[in-house]
Structure 1
């Protein structure tokens, strides 16, 4: 999955950092720090079980995904800005994702106790997770820089394969934890919807606070609200023994953020069509 993402990354994707450093770095900060901080606030407010809280924090610590670029385009947002934020979060994920998971989970006592009960050693966890992310990212970006035509051909095959792998991981996570989902579904689904809606709202409000025009606000909304939950499942299954409540949260998030994101993109398009209609009526008048 990470290799297929890296095949689409190039130095050009980071050019916007020099042109608009405040908006780019501000958007990155909202995504990498603001979302985990918001998530911790929701956890402290709701006091969910430790495994559910861990799942929420893992999702919030993951980078954005390419789906955010697609939804931004559909919603009439600034796609170049979206691609830049996705590129930065994807590259920085090798270091920041494992650090973020350990840091934020340590601030909620039940989740911290669960991590210790699972005997997760911080140093091996960091090294293994960083390698899991950094190696395919480096290889993919190197191939794209060295052989862009070959990279594009491989990417056309691997991109849908990666999506299929994500879908398979979601299905496996749900099937393995089906009993937990049935028992706690009334708890998990509202938490996922609230968490995801809050993430979208954070992106939109942060865009306004940073003085962005509507197109960039929409891009930031999707960058914060759409996370690479498939990567979260990989980390959970490989490093946290696939603990049930966390798997249920991440699996449900994987499905819901696509539904919520698509609905939001539709609302943006509807708002645009109504605005065009009003402008046309005013011109006719």
Structure 2
């Protein structure tokens, strides 16, 4: 795949990282220590979800990209997305889907903290394990320490600050929640737009390839999350929450990493950018389907009770 370098001056990259950090700060305002203590009290669902998110999804992604001999640049993009934590809209989608919001919030909090280490580690590990992507990973000279520091800056620090500020200013999260959600969506669309505009030729040339890769990859993530939880004998509400946590990835973080460290990796950009758009479509559709299904089941139960 032809590489097209996207040039960002240092000031633009700093501004971009600050915007992502602000978005994470807003998300973390509603996180409490109880969200983490809940895992200690009822660890099964969140721990299964985190295993599926940080171990199974990257492993399966690495194996499938190797077996299908996916073009290395595209394969690296898939592995980077699979290494990211849950996205900022997973909690809302879980609520819409009548899933267990407590499990979703717990997973979001823990995965965002864990991602400070796990995202750089998984990306480096699985990128190296795939023999097709290993030479490319070496060629683009990834600085593991700088990548770790970037993820800490845009995830770890704002998450910690939000958890400190949130309880002290209880109305703050309520006031800025809606604007921040709009900001997050607009930022995601802007990042995706920049990636597509700067790679128009690749977008047209490889659309039929990366489109189906992202659709299949995202569908696999949602399926792994749901059936991994289902086979672990978790309740339906927990299965829905875990499915959306695993399938809604923080692709904005993936794009920031690519813009910062791999601006010449156009294939990675296309995968991460299209994932950021597609997972909103697939996650919303699945949430509304589950919501409709719950409504129909509730009405059926009422009919049965009325007839008995």
The TM-score, its normalising length taken from structure 2, stands at 0.85
Most deviating of 214-223 and 28-37: 28-37
Q: Post-superposition shift, 1:241?
A: 1.7
Deviation at 1:272, TM superposition (A): 2.3
Q: 1:149 to 1:269 in 2, by over 3 A?
A: closer
Residue 32 (str. 1) matches residue 70 (str. 2): no
- Change in 2 beyond 3 A, CA 1:59/1:281: same
Q: CA deviation digits over 1:19-38, x for unaligned, max 9?
A: 21222212211111111112
How far has the Cα of 1:243 moved from its partner? 1.1
Structure 1 residue 264 corresponds to structure 2 residue 286: yes
**Residues 29, 162 of structure 2: 8 Å contact kept:** yes
> Is the 8 Å Cα contact of residues 16 and 24 (structure 1) preserved in structure 2?
no
What 5-or-longer segments of structure 2 have no aligned partner?
1-22
Q: How does 1:18-57 map to 2 (within 5 A)?
A: 18-57=40-79
Deviation, 1:170, is 1.2
Question: Which of 132, 136, 153 lines up with 1:131 in the alignment?
Answer: 153
Question: What is the distance in 1 between the residues matched to 2:299 and 2:168?
Answer: 48
User: Which deviations, in whole Å up to 9, do the C-alpha atoms of 1:63-112 show, x marking residues without a partner?
Assistant: 10231111111111111111111111111111111111111111112222
1:106 corresponds in structure 2 to 128
Cα distance in 2 for partners of 1:268, 1:149 equals 31
Q: Check the 8 A contact 1:8/1:155 in 2, yes or no.
A: no
1:207 maps to 2:229: yes
Alpha-carbon distance in 2 for matches of 1:42, 1:7: 37
Which position in structure 1 is the counterpart of 2:182? 160
Determine if the alignment matches structure 1 residue 246 to structure 2 residue 268: yes
| Cα deviation, residue 13, structure 1 | 1.7
CA contact (8 A) 1:173 1:248 kept: yes
Where does 1:139-178 land on structure 2 (aligned, <5 Å)? 139-150=161-172, 152-153=174-175, 155=177, 157-178=179-200
Which of residues 216, 221, 226 in structure 2 aligns to 1:194?
216
* Distance in 2, Cα, partners of 1:281 & 1:140: 46
Distance 1:158 1:271 in 2: 30
Once residues 264 and 95 of structure 2 are traced to their aligned partners in structure 1, the CA distance between those partners, rounded to angstroms, is 34
CA contact (8 A) 2:66 2:132 kept: no
1:93 matched residue in structure 2: 115
Q: Is the 8 A contact 1:54 1:105 kept in 2?
A: yes
**Displacement after TM superposition at 1:49 (Å):** 0.9
5+ residue gaps, structure 1, are none
Match of 2:81 among 53, 59, 73: 59
Corresponding residue number in structure 1 for 2:205: 183
SS at match of 1:110: coil
Kindly tell me: are residues 170 and 70 of structure 1, through their superposed partners in 2, closer, same or farther at Cα, counting changes over 3 Å? Answer: same
Query: Contact 1:143–1:151 (CA<8 Å) still a contact in 2?
Result: no
> How many residue pairs are counted as aligned between the two chains?
285
Task: State the match for 2:143 in structure 1.
Answer: 121
Change in CA separation of 1:37 and 1:218 when aligned onto 2, cut-off 3 Å: same
